[in-house]
Amino acid sequence: MVSLIAQDLERILEEARLAAQSQLEEIDQLVRKFLLQPITPQATWQFESAVEDRLREFGRSMLEVVYNRIEADDPDEMPKHVESDRQQYGRKHQKTPNRGGIGTVFGKIPLVRFSYEPLSEARDDQQKSVSPLELCLGIVAGNATPALAERVGRAAAGHTQRELLELLEREHRVGWSAKVLRRVTAAVS
């Protein structure tokens, strides 16, 4: 679906570097603060927890930049029609955000992409729009990256629904409804 030319790749890499730079500066500040105070178990716990948060934010912001730059911004650079499961779809005129964002192992990110609506009789049958970018990325049930979906699938066997929702919030900063969790686990299984 997607083929980046060299200038697009360099632009994406530069945006990713800029996103990373702010996170690295914050990590530098955390290291300074830790080393310039008495080293205690409490200070160590606080430092490690703060670094974990910064690294999670680093990963989240990196994925947000990269995933949102894969598709062209100009609709004329995108195909006017696509086919999926032997159904024809027509491109909307502008990018739209995925409702609720996409859950990743680092947290939720917004994903702005082109959607394609079903043509003619499929529209009458209430068929849903498709997003080639989401298909390429392997977004599961419209809500999770493959890496997060795999973790959800593994964790689902050993946790109640409530425990799994709490784990997703605590470990991945992803706040889903029970309905979204059921859709993702059903898609994974």
Q: pLDDT tens across 148-185, in order?
A: 999 999 999 899 999 999 999 999 999 999 999 999 99
Q: pLDDT tens across 106-144, in order?
A: 999 999 999 999 987 656 667 788 999 999 999 999 999
Provide the 8-state DSSP code for 184: H
Q: What are the domain boundaries of the chain?
A: 6-69, 81-188
Give the other-Cβ count within 10 Å of 89's Cβ. 25
Q: pLDDT tens across 5-29, in order?
A: 666 888 899 999 998 898 899 999 9
- Residue-level pLDDT at 96: 93
* 125 or 189, higher pLDDT: 189
Q: pLDDT tens across 45-100, in order?
A: 999 999 999 999 999 999 999 999 999 889 998 999 998 888 889 999 999 999 88
